[in-house]
């Protein structure tokens, strides 16, 4: 730390403290801000980190108490006020609470990655960034990335979350340059840290963790805090070990503006006040002759003047318009500053509905569905060195479904690799990698096992929106879904696309054959939105899923364009995935002349195809394998009822799996999943209405 660094630290600390005080005593009481989170007591280590994270490719993942860091990293005071005020000058333009930060490029180039309101969600994206930094430096030989690291900031409560342990496992097994900086204030809102980790000290508990460097220090003492942070940075810059850096700090405020801290004794509060880092910092600066008392007073006065000035500007800033709210939910032309395929010159193709004309592929030999997936991955890996493929058993084994067979041998362990058994880790890491400019293609082994990744998946989908289009993490998550060839069961046979359809910001492909799988997967991989790519298990290596593989490597199918798999005038069946084949058989059984529409993508879905068909036939059955209640069929049926009312000759029908898990016994499964016979019966009654 140079004198200059210390002056930067002092300015950040004083600025942050004053902003907190103004919010607490002026803006919140006046009703100008509704969410108020102070960082009082936490300022010093954060400001030191901001001063020392000088590598242009460093990144930090932060949380709601990280404003001192973000100020130190380059967020303006006006933006700091604008956040809680909810004006258009805030980084999210009023979309997010002011302390859920992001900063595409700070003072030294450091990125503050999009924070989450979910405690613990900041850890796995940090390890993803760290792994991407290593990949870009070592494999892509981008020297500018050499020595870059990631820092995840969190409170002590966050060390109890799944995300913390997922990230710790990844960082230590892969020796990633990441620092877990735990600002331990002894509480998570009102819950003491004895509930988060036994004996209340996470550093003490992790001392024997293999391949982890543990540092435990006082975050209120300037030289000690700086020494701890310098030690941590030196460890990760040399890539010796990841670091758990615990710094104890007082929380000199309520958890938020609404919290009166009645759960702390007065002795505790007095003890905390005595540990205020600001008097210690002042004393240190003068003692070390970095400032005189007079220049220090001048600095503080200057901070006050600047804060007041920028507050005035912030209070004059406009509020967003209601019509601004729905912009940047998906890629809409604004190129993200961080992440996204277009970042730093990567070839990009739009995925927007109808943007890409579907070409006729030069047809080739027929291949299994899973082989089509494997080939597209192979081709994209060959074409784009930023593509990485990973998941459980994806490496040497080639995936439990065979989608990645041979790819590790061909492209190496850095590009095609096994992960720890942590779905939160797989997705969170993918998000961090995408933000660092890579194209991650994670595999979740079965649909049910996406459950532990729910938080990361949902947060990933809203990154573009939350950051007002500044960041994007277009990952492509491949997931086998549905029942198997011979049997089902509650764990491996879930389709569950309706839950994903409800996740804002995501696209969903649900192809029914090898050709569509190839075209849609490539579109997803070259697009700029996160995509669920669902692969039906009963189609992976069966005759039904087999199709001619499109040989031209540029073959893409746009999202939101359905395919008529059978033509007819008597009724319309709208379906997708394996149900397409049951529908076709059922249509034959009732005498044919039925329009069968394979949706191919669920988000976006082809409303025009549905409209045109139902207007022609006057009868509509929506069929899917996902459970009935709140299934995606409800969405389509509601649309048809509203838009085709005048053309309908019968009520819109829905047929789906019973609201029941998929059973193991094939006999029981017959009672849950719509069989050809049940579909045919339903069609018969629809035609007879």
Ligand X SMILES: Cc1ncc(C[n+]2csc(CCOP(=O)(O)OP(=O)(O)O)c2C)c(N)n1
d(CA 415, CA 407): 9
155 is a contact residue toward ligand X (CB under 6 A): yes
Please, which residue, 113 or 602, has the CB nearer to ligand X?
113
Residues 547 and 519 sit within 8 Å (Cβ to Cβ): no
Please, which residue, 253 or 307, has the CB nearer to ligand X?
253
d(CA 524, CA 475): 9
Beta bridge partner(s), residue 472: 339
d(CA 417, CA 408): 7
Please, which residue, 155 or 469, has the CB nearer to ligand X?
155
Among 635, 459, 470, 482, smallest CA distance to 530 is for 459
69 is a contact residue toward ligand X (CB under 6 A): no
Please, which residue, 249 or 472, has the CB nearer to ligand X?
249
Residues 475 and 530 sit within 8 Å (Cβ to Cβ): yes
651 is a contact residue toward ligand X (CB under 6 A): no
d(CA 464, CA 473): 8
- Measured in degrees and rounded to the nearest 5, phi and psi for residue 418 equal -75, 150
393 is a contact residue toward ligand X (CB under 6 A): no
Residues 580 and 512 sit within 8 Å (Cβ to Cβ): yes
Out of 492, 502, 536, 628, pick the active-site residue.
492
Out of 172, 185, 352, 493, point to the residue binding ligand X (CB under 6 A): 185
Please identify, among the stretches 28-36, 107-115, 118-126, 594-602, the one whose residues bind ligand X according to the rule CB under 6 A. Answer: 118-126
- Measured in degrees and rounded to the nearest 5, phi and psi for residue 48 equal -65, -45
224 is a contact residue toward ligand X (CB under 6 A): no
Dump the DSSP string for 629-642.
TT-HHHHHHHHHHH
41 is a contact residue toward ligand X (CB under 6 A): no
In the bound complex, what is the minimum distance in angstroms from residue 359's beta carbon to ligand X?
Answer: 45
Among 367, 416, 426, smallest CA distance to 396 is for 416
In the bound complex, what is the minimum distance in angstroms from residue 501's beta carbon to ligand X?
Answer: 23
Please, which residue, 46 or 368, has the CB nearer to ligand X?
46
d(CA 564, CA 584): 11
- Measured in degrees and rounded to the nearest 5, phi and psi for residue 32 equal -80, -25
In the bound complex, what is the minimum distance in angstroms from residue 13's beta carbon to ligand X?
Answer: 17
Please, which residue, 273 or 382, has the CB nearer to ligand X?
273
d(CA 439, CA 434): 6
Structure tokens at 610: 């549905």
Among 383, 370, 411, smallest CA distance to 555 is for 383
d(CA 44, CA 47): 5
In the bound complex, what is the minimum distance in angstroms from residue 428's beta carbon to ligand X?
Answer: 13
d(CA 147, CA 74): 21
118 is a contact residue toward ligand X (CB under 6 A): yes
d(CA 240, CA 459): 31
Out of 86, 188, 440, 568, point to the residue binding ligand X (CB under 6 A): 188
For residues 453 to 492, the per-residue mask of contacts with ligand X, x marking binding by CB under 6 A and - elsewhere, is ----------------------------------------
Please, which residue, 205 or 564, has the CB nearer to ligand X?
205
Is residue 622 helix, strand or coil?
A: strand
Out of 158, 296, 439, 656, point to the residue binding ligand X (CB under 6 A): 158
Residue with tokens 């058989």: 585
- Position closest to ligand X via CB: 155
255 is a contact residue toward ligand X (CB under 6 A): yes
In the bound complex, what is the minimum distance in angstroms from residue 97's beta carbon to ligand X?
Answer: 11
In the bound complex, what is the minimum distance in angstroms from residue 230's beta carbon to ligand X?
Answer: 23
Beta bridge partner(s), residue 541: none
Out of 72, 83, 157, 505, point to the residue binding ligand X (CB under 6 A): 157
117 is a contact residue toward ligand X (CB under 6 A): yes
SS in 3 state form for 415-474? Answer: CEEECCCCHHHHHHHHHHHHHCCCEEEEECCCHHHHHHHHHHHHHHHCHHHHCCCCEECC
Out of 139, 189, 227, 405, point to the residue binding ligand X (CB under 6 A): 189
Please identify, among the stretches 183-191, 304-312, 384-392, 491-499, the one whose residues bind ligand X according to the rule CB under 6 A. Answer: 183-191
d(CA 433, CA 424): 14
DSSP3 helix / strand / coil % (the chain, rounded to 5): 40, 15, 45
119 is a contact residue toward ligand X (CB under 6 A): yes
In the bound complex, what is the minimum distance in angstroms from residue 649's beta carbon to ligand X?
Answer: 50
How many residues at the interface with ligand X, by CB under 6 A?
A: 16
Please identify, among the stretches 54-62, 186-194, 559-567, 678-686, the one whose residues bind ligand X according to the rule CB under 6 A. Answer: 186-194
Dump the DSSP string for 267-322.
HHHHHHHHT-HHHHHHHHHHHTTSS-HHHHHHHHHHHHHHHHHHHHHHHHSPPPPG
259 is a contact residue toward ligand X (CB under 6 A): no
Please identify, among the stretches 112-120, 122-130, 375-383, 656-664, the one whose residues bind ligand X according to the rule CB under 6 A. Answer: 112-120
Please, which residue, 63 or 533, has the CB nearer to ligand X?
63
Number of alpha carbons in the 13 Å side-chain half-sphere of residue 572: 29
Please identify, among the stretches 187-195, 364-372, 428-436, 517-525, the one whose residues bind ligand X according to the rule CB under 6 A. Answer: 187-195
Please, which residue, 156 or 272, has the CB nearer to ligand X?
156
In the bound complex, what is the minimum distance in angstroms from residue 248's beta carbon to ligand X?
Answer: 12
Active site residue 492: yes
In the bound complex, what is the minimum distance in angstroms from residue 112's beta carbon to ligand X?
Answer: 17
In the bound complex, what is the minimum distance in angstroms from residue 63's beta carbon to ligand X?
Answer: 7
In the bound complex, what is the minimum distance in angstroms from residue 87's beta carbon to ligand X?
Answer: 24
Please, which residue, 185 or 404, has the CB nearer to ligand X?
185
Out of 43, 156, 578, 595, point to the residue binding ligand X (CB under 6 A): 156
d(CA 311, CA 293): 27
Among 405, 410, 390, smallest CA distance to 170 is for 390
Please, which residue, 197 or 495, has the CB nearer to ligand X?
197
Residues labelled catalytic = 492
Q: Which residues bind ligand X (CB under 6 A)?
A: 65, 117-120, 154-158, 185, 187-189, 251, 255
């Amino acid at each position: 730390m140079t004198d200059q660094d210390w002056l930067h630290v002092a300015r950040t600390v004083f600025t942050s403290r004053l902003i907190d005080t103004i919010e607490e005593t002026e803006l919140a009481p006046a009703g100008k801000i509704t969410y108020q989170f102070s960082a009082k007591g936490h300022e010093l280590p954060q400001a030191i980190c901001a001063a020392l994270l000088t590598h242009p490719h460093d990144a930090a993942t932060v949380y709601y108490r990280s404003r001192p860091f973000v100020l130190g990293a380059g967020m303006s005071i006006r933006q700091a006020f604008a956040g809680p005020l909810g004006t258009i000058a805030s980084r999210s333009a009023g979309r997010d609470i002011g302390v859920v930060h992001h900063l595409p490029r700070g003072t030294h180039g450091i990125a503050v990655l999009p924070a989450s309101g979910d405690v613990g969600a900041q850890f796995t994206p940090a390890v993803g960034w760290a792994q991407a930094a290593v990949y870009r430096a070592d494999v892509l030989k981008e020297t500018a990335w050499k020595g870059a690291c990631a820092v995840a900031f969190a409170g002590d409560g966050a060390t109890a979350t799944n995300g913390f342990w997922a990230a710790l496992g990844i960082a230590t097994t892969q020796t990633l340059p990441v620092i877990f900086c735990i600002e331990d204030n002894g509480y998570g809102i009102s819950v003491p840290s004895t509930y988060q980790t036994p004996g209340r000290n996470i550093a003490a508990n992790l001392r024997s963790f293999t391949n982890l460097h543990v540092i435990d220090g006082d975050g209120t003492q300037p030289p000690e805090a700086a020494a701890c942070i310098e030690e941590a940075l030196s460890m990760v810059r040399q890539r010796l070990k990841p670091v758990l850096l615990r710094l104890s700090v007082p929380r000199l405020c309520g958890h938020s503006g609404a919290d009166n801290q009645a759960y702390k004794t007065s002795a505790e509060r007095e003890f905390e006040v005595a540990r205020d880092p600001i008097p210690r910092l002042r004393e240190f600066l003068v003692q070390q002759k970095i400032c005189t008392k007079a220049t220090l007073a001048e600095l503080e006065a200057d901070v006050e003047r600047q804060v007041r000035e920028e507050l005035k500007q912030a209070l004059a800033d406009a509020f967003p318009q209601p019509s601004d709210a729905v912009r940047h939910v998906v890629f809409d032309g604004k190129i993200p500053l961080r992440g996204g395929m277009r970042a730093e010159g990567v070839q990009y193709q739009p995925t927007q509905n109808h943007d890409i004309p579907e070409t006729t592929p030069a047809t080739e030999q027929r291949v299994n569905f899973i082989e089509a997936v494997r080939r597209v991955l192979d081709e994209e890996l060959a074409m784009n060195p930023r593509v990485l493929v990973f998941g459980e058993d994806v490496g040497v084994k080639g995936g439990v479904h065979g989608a990645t067979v041979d790819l590790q041998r061909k492209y190496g362990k850095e590009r095609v690799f096994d992960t720890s058994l942590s779905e939160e880790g797989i997705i969170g890491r993918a998000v961090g990698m995408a933000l660092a400019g890579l194209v991650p293609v994670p595999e979740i082994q079965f649909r049910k096992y996406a459950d532990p990744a729910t938080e990361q998946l949902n947060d990933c989908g809203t990154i573009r929106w939350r950051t007002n289009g500044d960041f994007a993490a277009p990952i492509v998550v491949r997931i086998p879904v549905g029942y198997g060839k011979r049997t089902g069961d509650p764990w491996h046979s879930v389709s569950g696309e309706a839950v994903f359809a409800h996740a804002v910001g995501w696209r969903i492909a649900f192809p029914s054959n090898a050709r569509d799988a190839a075209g849609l997967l490539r579109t997803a991989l070259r697009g700029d939105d996160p995509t669920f790519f669902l692969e039906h298990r009963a189609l992976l290596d069966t005759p039904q899923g087999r199709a001619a593989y499109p040989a031209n490597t540029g073959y893409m199918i746009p999202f939101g364009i359905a395919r008529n798999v059978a033509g007819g005038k008597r009724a319309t069946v709208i379906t997708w995935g394996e149900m397409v084949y049951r529908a076709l058989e059922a249509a034959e059984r009732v005498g044919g002349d039925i329009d069968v529409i394979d949706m191919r993508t669920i988000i976006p879905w082809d409303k025009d195809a549905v409209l045109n068909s139902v207007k022609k036939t006057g009868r509509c059955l929506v069929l899917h394998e996902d459970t009935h209640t709140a299934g995606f069929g409800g969405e389509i049926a509601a649309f048809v009822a509203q838009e085709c009312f005048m053309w309908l000759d019968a009520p819109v029908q829905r047929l789906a799996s019973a609201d029941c898990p998929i059973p193991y016994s094939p006999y029981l499964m017959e009672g849950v999943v719509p069989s050809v016979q049940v579909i045919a019966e339903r069609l018969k009654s629809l035609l007879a209405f």
